[in-house]
Amino acid sequence: MQTLNFNQPPRKSLSSISVTIALHIIVFGLALQTGRIISEPHSKPVTVTFDDKKPIDPPKPVEMNKPKINLPEQAIIELPKLPDTTSDPTKTITTRAKNSDDTGVRDDNSGGAGTTNGSGDTGAKHVPVHIAAQVDSNACAKPEYPLTSLRNQEEGTVNLAMLIGVDGKVLESKVEKSSGSKALDRAAIAGLSLCKFSAGSTDGVAEKSWAKLQYVWTIN
């Protein structure tokens, strides 16, 4: 039976190592004799340069041309002038009940004569001419202010209608619009009934007709 000994190195390996060491010694000796040691050439340093470049200008914005919009011309329409239909406002004559010489009487009748056709045609229809009864405000006595109305500070405007006879006297009277106070209405009728009237007429003939009066009560 064979016994294996692993502690002893093989002879072939030792001889190879000895030959290698001997070759290195010979080469080193030759180098010492020549005084030259071969070494790898040194590489030159690499110089890195940086170019200072100018900053790049940002691109200019492109100007966009705004499209032209042609708007239609506005048409000017001239409106025809309307005829002036306004009439002169009716003048209202008022007066104060105290410290005044006027009576405050207003005659609402036009007092004008009626109109005819004026054509001159012989076959034209006759239009009668009416003239309303008229009141002479200068011949009217100022109505007395009722004491109760003075104490109560009552004011107002009363519209009256009076029937005038052919002799110019008041035959009948009535209140068309109250002043808001019965005392003032009665006082206005009593005072204005004493006014001087001229009778109304038709084609120059006197007749009964109504007269419209207005009186304003005002406390000073």
Q: Is residue 167 part of a domain?
A: yes
Q: Is residue 89 part of a domain?
A: no
What tokens were used for 162? 């009076």
Q: What is the pLDDT of residue 217?
A: 95
Question: How would you label 6-36 residue by residue, b for 16+ Cβ within 10 Å and e otherwise?
Answer: eeeeeeeeeeeeeeeeeeeeeeeeeeeeeee
Q: Is residue 192 part of a domain?
A: yes
Q: Is residue 12 part of a domain?
A: no
Query: What percent of the chain shows pLDDT beyond 90?
Result: 33
72 vs 117: CA distance, rounded Å: 56
Q: Is residue 149 part of a domain?
A: yes
In tens, the pLDDT along 139-179 reads 888 899 999 999 999 999 999 999 999 999 999 999 999 99
Q: Is residue 40 part of a domain?
A: no
Kindly state the greatest CA–CA separation across the chain. Answer: 192
111: nearest Cα among 192, 29, 209? 209
Q: Which domain, by its residues, includes 203?
A: 105-112+128-217
Q: Is residue 138 part of a domain?
A: yes
In tens, the pLDDT along 117-149 reads 544 555 688 899 998 888 887 888 889 999 999
**Are 121 and 139 contacting, i.e. CB atoms less than 8 angstroms apart?**
no
| Res 7 pLDDT > 90 | no
Beta partners for residue 175, in sequence order:
160
The DSSP call for residue 166 is T
Lowest mean pLDDT among 51-55, 110-114, 128-132, 187-191: 110-114
Tell me which of 165 and 86 has the higher pLDDT: 165
**Are 149 and 209 contacting, i.e. CB atoms less than 8 angstroms apart?**
no
Q: Which domain CATH number covers 212?
A: 3.30.2420.10
Helix, strand, or coil here: 219?
coil
Query: CA 168 → CA 6, 103, 133, 175, 203, distances in Å?
Result: 178, 19, 8, 20, 17
Tell me what the mean pLDDT of segment 45-66 comes to.
Answer: 57
Q: What mean pLDDT value characterizes the chain?
A: 71
Report how many domains make up the chain. 1
Q: Is residue 24 part of a domain?
A: no
